[in-house]
Structure 1
């Protein structure tokens, strides 16, 4: 009978990690945990104290700081995999999971599923011939060395790659390997895991190669497993149910997806929303169930394709299966910084990112480069962001894994502000009220196209009072909208008063609020 050692890659929610490990080991299986070293050390301590007495739980020998697209994800997987392989000789299979994964079948069903065929479950598609990569660089992932992260060090990432192209530093692929690509999530037999570990011990150059490839978690195990296992012993699919939106982002599942998930021909699913407490509780119970019949319809991907396709043929605003709730979510808090002087708002968001855990972005509906993480196609143009404003902000909440989000809006964007204010989410507004001198007005008129560099000074002087009136009117309209949570800071107010407004706006400590209010040159032009 199959005995599973689960490899847990987790970086948050220590309570959820403990619950997941207890649930999986209660059925007689095993768990090896790698808890990201970027997380607070007290979280790791809590997990180890809670699970230390469980003989079916082990921990990776080293904790690594993991970054999306980096070798560190593969290295963390190897650390936990090696720990599990040594600690649990009874384990017949090794199943990679994340903290966002939940079972959608019982342990009884999973064992019968794995016992039915002597094979490995890992997606392995030809790297060069398949269309697995939909957007972005392709062979450049492999033939050039990548030392920088494309998400957090975009300029260095592309500069490094372009220099290698110019200098002809294209490298060859590892000898004797057919490069494969596929989903990060797999379930491998013990003999396969042992063969892969033996291979990398005998050929250390493989580690050196994959360390500098881009997104190696999609190629490392996929390539090596296909090298050591006959093709007829590989089922080229992940045992974990996951889908991606049109914008390349993982589909998140909520409470009303319970029945759909159980009907899919998979053992686990990701990503389960952290807010879907009812779904998580019900799926947790499923793993322990006995004698449950699971009718398989596997309609999830087809249904998703159909329903999102309705949007492409003119029915964009028809109710969608995946977006029955257009709200951002009642439990979420949107912090809107409304400021005409963008440079002041950006100084404040930069300081918020430095001093608080609250994610903060800039003028995402006005500028392409506004501090966004990699969001796929949804963020490709400003117009697209405005059309899909709530979808974008929902994705940001999920990407940052936070119930709070700070973003900046121009006072002229009253329709956007009103739209967010009418959402079920809690919306707080911080208005940065500033004075507009003649130099600022001239610059503003140039930016909006009212004047050019050659416009006579006399024309500029005649326009200035009209433009100042317009800016003052924008501010008055904003105040007249009567928002329940509306705060103001101004360069004329004492620092302590601005700090009180910032404290109420962000719900931070008085000390942090004072620090933010004291931001160097905050109101300087």
Structure 2
């Protein structure tokens, strides 16, 4: 059976470290601790005093001061790994942790998972071909030498960097090394760890190279493991669940994230809030529990994105300065069908096409594959369509040689609705209000990635009211905006009532409106 040596890098909160070490070793696993040498000495003394008698805990044979982005983080990890290899000959796996991590599965589940998956778990993507680095330095991290800490010695860091740039002092990457990049939270088998340590002793050139790269904890192990282990034995993923906000900051988990964390296909999670006392208590009890069944649904990232986005009224794509004064044209009439159930709006649009000759386009700002004519590339992506929305609409009016055009939009596109409503052209809107059954909401959650086939009933029970309230909120926002020329169709309304709404929206007779509204299948799910 798998026995894990946890490699813990930490620098604060000694009480939490002591509890974590006792919790993880109580299940028969091991721990090697490197406590930052720049931290308070009394904190380290407290940790040593509390854990000295625990045979399953050891400490890095050397402590050093660590800094973000520096080689010191890798060196501290190596010191802890070397001590763990020596102290725990029965350890089969070595799992990298921080003081902010906690197990989100039981020891029983964790050991069984590692027994069933004979592989190394480490993110390792090609440094140059992948898009793992989104912004900032890329090649410069490697080809220049970085002697200073970017956070604490910013002026020296960039002065050294720019000087090397001006003088052309670049260097070559070791010829037989293909640099990889990924998360620093890995789980490696004992054989792999021994190969890595052997590599560090033999390849002093590679060690010299990485010592002056920037943020080597994202590249060192990721590269060396690829060099010593066959690709078929590497799973390019981390077993630690972590997320980042739009601002690049780690998402912090609190007491009400317990069920969400347990449903993720990971063994640990970071970062757990220091104030999440109940979450830490429940997760602590979980690791020692037996016979726990986990329903893996893995919707965490999409769920977080959905929930955190509810507070945003604005959108990413603001109007470009050159579009501020543009207009669709005073004589033109843009008609917008607004509906959360896209299939209902598409049916209404299809009926409108049959009864009128007005060109009608489906969700062009929501669906990539909406059929559109070739407009010189502006129509190719949702991003381009949204950024250049007025120019796109003018081109569509011109393409169809019409002064009347119908489009569909999701009620969440409030910025687009307000933008078009403020144009000098005539803008008419038709909101189609539908009923949302629980079955539909579950299907919607699955379609947009908020839930999966294995999502537990308890998670859905908490999620569905949020989704329903979100849809109500979107509709209320449209009503509160008090758009001119707004009409509404309702699923529970009579055919005559919906016919009158269609008549006002399309400027057609009520008989034609009734012809459109009388289709029995319009609101069917």
Judge same fold: TM > 0.5, yes or no.
yes
Deviation sequence 1:458-500 (CA, Å, 0-9, x none): xxxxxxxxxxxxxxxxxxxxxxxxxxxxxxxxxxxxxxxxxxx
Partner of 1:155: 155
Deviation sequence 1:231-270 (CA, Å, 0-9, x none): 1111111100000000000000001101100000000000
- Cα distance in 1 for partners of 2:192, 2:133 equals 26
Distance apart, 1:175 and its partner CA: 2.3
Partner of 2:27: 27
Deviation sequence 1:243-301 (CA, Å, 0-9, x none): 00000000000011011000000000000000111111110011000000000000011
Partner of 2:282: 282
Partner of 1:252: 252
Partner of 2:80: 80
- Cα distance in 2 for partners of 1:19, 1:76 equals 22
Query: After the TM superposition, which residues 426-441 of structure 1 pair with which residues of structure 2 at under 5 Å, given as runs?
Result: none
Q: Which secondary structure state, in structure 2, belongs to the residue aligned with residue 123 of structure 1?
A: coil
Runs of 4+ in structure 1 off by over 4 angstroms are 308-313
Distance apart, 1:105 and its partner CA: 0.1
Q: Which secondary structure state, in structure 2, belongs to the residue aligned with residue 136 of structure 1?
A: coil
Distance apart, 1:177 and its partner CA: 0.8
Partner of 2:45: 45
Distance apart, 1:54 and its partner CA: 0.9
Distance apart, 1:304 and its partner CA: 2.2
Query: After the TM superposition, which residues 338-353 of structure 1 pair with which residues of structure 2 at under 5 Å, given as runs?
Result: none
Distance apart, 1:206 and its partner CA: 1.6
Partner of 1:189: 189
Q: Which secondary structure state, in structure 2, belongs to the residue aligned with residue 8 of structure 1?
A: strand
Partner of 2:94: 94
- Cα distance in 2 for partners of 1:133, 1:296 equals 29
Query: After the TM superposition, which residues 335-414 of structure 1 pair with which residues of structure 2 at under 5 Å, given as runs?
Result: none
Partner of 1:119: 119
Partner of 2:303: 303
Partner of 1:482: none
Q: Which secondary structure state, in structure 2, belongs to the residue aligned with residue 129 of structure 1?
A: coil
- Cα distance in 2 for partners of 1:28, 1:256 equals 29
- Cα distance in 2 for partners of 1:201, 1:216 equals 18
Q: Which secondary structure state, in structure 2, belongs to the residue aligned with residue 176 of structure 1?
A: coil
The gaps in structure 2 that reach 5 residues or longer are 317-525
- Cα distance in 2 for partners of 1:7, 1:26 equals 16
- C-alpha RMSD of the superposition: 1.3
Q: Which secondary structure state, in structure 1, belongs to the residue aligned with residue 9 of structure 2?
A: strand
Q: Which secondary structure state, in structure 2, belongs to the residue aligned with residue 61 of structure 1?
A: coil
Q: Which secondary structure state, in structure 2, belongs to the residue aligned with residue 165 of structure 1?
A: helix
Scaled by the length of structure 1, what TM-score is found?
0.59
Q: Which secondary structure state, in structure 2, belongs to the residue aligned with residue 132 of structure 1?
A: coil
- Cα distance in 2 for partners of 1:48, 1:191 equals 29
Q: Indicate yes or no: 2:55 matched with 1:67.
A: no
Q: What is the total number of aligned residue pairs between the two structures? A: 316
- Cα distance in 2 for partners of 1:110, 1:88 equals 19
- Cα distance in 2 for partners of 1:117, 1:276 equals 32
Q: Which secondary structure state, in structure 1, belongs to the residue aligned with residue 32 of structure 2?
A: strand
- Cα distance in 2 for partners of 1:32, 1:287 equals 18
The gaps in structure 1 that reach 5 residues or longer are 317-525
Q: Which secondary structure state, in structure 1, belongs to the residue aligned with residue 84 of structure 2?
A: helix
- Cα distance in 2 for partners of 1:95, 1:47 equals 20
